[in-house]
Structure 1
Amino acid sequence: MNKHVVVWIFLKTLFQIGLLSLMLLLSGCINDDAIDFPEEPDFTSFSQSTAIISLLRSVKNNTLSEDQDCFTLFYPIELGFNNDITITVGSYQALQEITEDVNTNIHINKVEFPILVSKAGTVKSIKSESQLTQLLDECGLLTLRDEFDKYFTQCFDFAYPIKMIATDSSQVKIDSLGDYFDFEFEQGFDKQPVFVYPLEINSFSKDQKLLINNDFELFEVFDMCDSCPQLFFSIDWAEDTRYVFEADFPGIDELESFDWYIDRIKVETDGAGVDGDFKLEETFNEGTYEICIKTQAPEFDCFAGTSYCTTLEVVDPCPILSIEVNPIEADSIQFIATFDRKDEIDYTWAIYQDQDLIFFEEELEGGDNKFGYQFDPGTYNVCLEAEVHGCSTVSKVCEEIIVN
């Protein structure tokens, strides 16, 4: 008989006589109406999941409540322990009870997809780890990335070398802190970090090296970290490609200073101690930027420092207009708008002679982007003009037309 099945039957017997403490460390706390044990567990249908660990941490910390606004779970859901035991959870209360008794030796690290949730009045099927992580992100619940970025280099660093998994599933050796940041910059700081275990870390709070065997143990390291200010800033689009970033977080008035970074380059020192205004205003070219605030905050006993970063996608709202001129007859000409956003915005065709407007025609979004006109002899400027929200100037391009 398969050794997993033998173990399962033995543990099921323990459950029936009330000795669950060896199995789940729940000491009989979980209502057996809410949790069922399968007759023959099918381990192959379960997925290793870091996101389910994050979800359970949110339950334990009361950031994910039974009636919270963003989403609610449909039960039952199937969960798996790190020792390949599986359980069926039938209620939020049972989910809460599980979070109280997991530890390094026995903890949840698997889930059976799909999970059904109700979000914005719609039932959604969460079919993968990436979809579950996205759901947590959308609802403001902390993921491994969020917690790792909060505490890394603040209360621990790696004892290099380590290995990480790249987006193409290859293993990449990381030999230093600089290597780590280069790797993350290349992969994208919005991606969840995937580590090859075991790995060693240098714990600043314990002043010693710790061996980490899995994501659950890494989360436990986060729980040992000292408190630092929870940095945050909002982003407001001003106009064109100009943005205003405003720092706002608990304790900001007590913090001596912090620094603004764009793509890892310090651009400004701010804070109450330097008569700062807690704002950064910058004009960008089109592209993707990483915006961060960072501080070493001894007044918070945060000697290793902390940071908050986010990614900014900059798109110039002002279209670059262009016209194609197609003569039909000597005095009859067709004009065609050829710029990229011609189907997305409203614009105007205008004809000027001696700087006087003699004709105009509106081209609404979704039009045919063509304009024809029969001219009398003379010199004209045929212009395409667009006034777009967020663009500080009227976009304009003109072609000179001479009709003999």
Structure 2
Amino acid sequence: MNKIYTYYTVFILMIALLVSSCVNDDGSFPEDPGNEITSTSAIVTILNDLNAKGDTFSEDQLCFRFQYPLTLGYNTDSNIRIDSYQGLLDVISGQSSNFNITGIQFPVEIIYSGNTTTNVIGNEAALFEVIRECQLTTFRDIFNKLFKQCFKFDYPVILKNGNKEETTIDGDEGFIRFLSAQGENYQPDFTFPVNILVAPNFEANRISTYYEFYQILNTCVGCPDIRFDIVPLQDNIYQFTPNFEIGNGYELSFKVNEEVIPDVIIDGNVFTRQFSPGTYEVCIKAITPDCLEGKSVCKEIIVEPICPDLLFDFVQQPGSLSYNFTADFVGIDDISYDWIIDNEVIESDGGANGDNMFTFDFTPGTHKACIKAETPSCPNGIELCRDIIVCPELSFTSMQQGVTSTYDFVANFPGKEDISYQWLINDNIQEEDGGAVNGDNEFTFNFTPGDYEVCIVTEIEGCTDGVRFCMSISIP
């Protein structure tokens, strides 16, 4: 019996020594914690940030510092009082999956860097506000970046909303919808334990605290920061080249609007395509061993039309109102086009079988001659037009009736059936004639002795030559 008692006493002493060795002069386990410990991811976020900064990062370099003492709570329902910054670092380094900080006792006091004013932080919401003011990376920031990249949920999971009301989530869609409904400042408030599947093999893990969650997030590589460059070449050909390091096991794909580009078209991770004019969304997607669902980045390109430089010339056939047109421009053997007179398509030409020549009989007046082409790179078409002023060359013949003083005059010029003109004797209008007024283009006049000037005149906008023709007649 004495032997058993001796063993029991030694065991108690060893436990006491072990506990005392775990706590130095900068921290202690209080017998009566006083105020209740508030479980919150806010303190875990702060400790995770301090751990990432390392021991060489001094307290003076922090955005804020705690005023000690500070009481924190463990996942074992035990508490510890921290009396200094070094004591806080010791607690951080002493954490493990089985023994880690989950909460803090409010109120706490902090002082912002460069200030001497003490600020009292009375609750979880106020501590989250400190985190935002100091621009620390929150749990949600990391979660949003890595969710479905390094881990997935093995549903269901239970979340508490801003009012601490629990909601059971059964899938990714419901989870994302829940987060969105809580607002951008909401931090995921899990009811632990939570079952997650961790990449790359999505092995099952059961986590019970935010510390354990951070342990997974901190070792997660996640999706690469993908970028790509766009280089316009010629004839609306564009080249798309990834602008990030492509590691082993990476799978790349491109997408143009909703068309996924097969791997066989991507040559050495470079994608080249000729586009028709328009607006396109071009995306690159990378799937990696640490980013199994992939990540996409998209850019918009606006492809402007590339139209041919049309060119044609023309010449009037002597003594007529006919014009000969000849087209000649780069690419004419590959482009079909139309000859258009006064907005009416008269003839199609161009291409391998075209002769690129065109003849048209005009009426006197102002006309518009055009050629118009549409190509895949110029779908709205391009048109080249030139104004042509067609002026008649008036003329007539005269014949005396026997030995009388009566003369017959007959107009004989091209286009007389399309215009109106006047017969004049000594600038006095004698008759309106021409096809435009249903005239017969003949005029007879009985002269008295004297000298006369017989003319035909017309008015056509833009014409100064050829609109008056005269003949002298002398009657003895």
TM-score between both structures, scaled by the size of structure 2: 0.44
Change (3 A) 1:137 1:150: same
When Rg is computed on C-alpha atoms for both structures, the one with the higher figure is 2
Q: 2:184 is matched with which residue?
A: 189
Query: Which one of 83, 91, 96 corresponds to residue 89 of structure 2?
Result: 96
Query: Which one of 4, 24, 28 corresponds to residue 36 of structure 1?
Result: 28
* C-alpha contact (below 8 Å) 2:82/2:88 kept by paired residues: yes
* C-alpha contact (below 8 Å) 2:288/2:294 kept by paired residues: no
How far apart are 1:227 and its partner, in Å? 4.3
How far apart are 1:255 and its partner, in Å? 6.7
1:142 paired with 2:137, answer: yes
| 1:50-61 correspondence to structure 2 within 5 Å | 50-61=41-52
How far apart are 1:70 and its partner, in Å? 1.8
Q: 1:199 is matched with which residue?
A: 194
What is the distance in 1 between the residues matched to 2:160 and 2:203?
26
* C-alpha contact (below 8 Å) 2:131/2:138 kept by paired residues: yes
Q: Partner letter of residue 96 of structure 2?
A: N
Q: 1:303 is matched with which residue?
A: 292
Q: Partner letter of residue 244 of structure 2?
A: E
Residue by residue over 1:120-145, the C-alpha shift from the partner in whole angstroms, topping out at 9 and shown as x without a partner, is: 51321111111112211221222221
Change (3 A) 1:55 1:15: farther
1:49 paired with 2:40, answer: yes
How far apart are 1:82 and its partner, in Å? 1.6
What is the distance in 2 between the residues matched to 1:295 and 1:114?
49
* C-alpha contact (below 8 Å) 1:164/1:172 kept by paired residues: yes
1:216 paired with 2:205, answer: no
* C-alpha contact (below 8 Å) 1:150/1:306 kept by paired residues: no
Matched position secondary structure for 2:120: strand
What is the distance in 2 between the residues matched to 1:116 and 1:208?
42
How far apart are 1:306 and its partner, in Å? 5.8
Cα-Cα RMSD: 3.8
Matched position secondary structure for 1:157: strand
| 1:16-31 correspondence to structure 2 within 5 Å | 17=17, 19-20=18-19, 28=21
Q: Partner letter of residue 189 of structure 1?
A: E
Residue by residue over 1:214-242, the C-alpha shift from the partner in whole angstroms, topping out at 9 and shown as x without a partner, is: 3222222213423444699xxxxxxxxxx
Q: 1:354 is matched with which residue?
A: none
Which protein has greater RCO, CA pairs closer than 8 Å, 6+ apart? 1
How far apart are 1:158 and its partner, in Å? 1.1
How far apart are 1:154 and its partner, in Å? 0.9
Moved more, 210-219 or 184-193: 210-219
What is the distance in 2 between the residues matched to 1:231 and 1:99?
34
What is the distance in 2 between the residues matched to 1:73 and 1:167?
26
* C-alpha contact (below 8 Å) 2:195/2:205 kept by paired residues: yes
What is the distance in 1 between the residues matched to 2:271 and 2:35?
58
Extract unaligned runs of 5+ from structure 1: 1-9, 233-251, 260-265, 267-271, 276-293, 309-404
Extract unaligned runs of 5+ from structure 2: 1-9, 228-241, 247-251, 259-268, 273-282, 298-476
* C-alpha contact (below 8 Å) 1:46/1:113 kept by paired residues: yes
Q: Partner letter of residue 293 of structure 2?
A: A
How far apart are 1:100 and its partner, in Å? 1.4
Residue by residue over 1:152-195, the C-alpha shift from the partner in whole angstroms, topping out at 9 and shown as x without a partner, is: 11111112222221223322222221111111222223311112
1:86 paired with 2:79, answer: yes
Q: 2:147 is matched with which residue?
A: 152
* C-alpha contact (below 8 Å) 2:225/2:244 kept by paired residues: no
1:254 paired with 2:254, answer: no
Change (3 A) 1:192 1:90: same
Q: Partner letter of residue 172 of structure 2?
A: L
Change (3 A) 1:306 1:185: same
* C-alpha contact (below 8 Å) 1:205/1:225 kept by paired residues: no
| 1:2-401 correspondence to structure 2 within 5 Å | 17=17, 19-20=18-19, 28=21, 32-38=24-30, 40-42=31-33, 44-62=35-53, 65-119=58-112, 120-121=114-115, 122-229=117-224, 253-254=243-244, 296-298=285-287, 301-305=290-294
What is the distance in 2 between the residues matched to 1:306 and 1:300?
12
Q: 1:325 is matched with which residue?
A: none
Change (3 A) 1:306 1:78: farther
Matched position secondary structure for 2:189: coil
* C-alpha contact (below 8 Å) 1:52/1:111 kept by paired residues: yes
Percent identical across equivalent pairs? 29
Q: Partner letter of residue 71 of structure 1?
A: F
Q: Partner letter of residue 221 of structure 1?
A: I
How far apart are 1:104 and its partner, in Å? 1.5
How far apart are 1:83 and its partner, in Å? 1.6
Change (3 A) 1:172 1:37: closer
* C-alpha contact (below 8 Å) 1:79/1:110 kept by paired residues: yes
Change (3 A) 1:14 1:274: farther
What is the distance in 2 between the residues matched to 1:91 and 1:307?
46
Change (3 A) 1:61 1:307: farther
Moved segments of 4+, more than 6 Å: 10-13, 255-259, 272-275
Give the aligned length: 242
Q: Partner letter of residue 29 of structure 2?
A: F
Matched position secondary structure for 1:61: helix
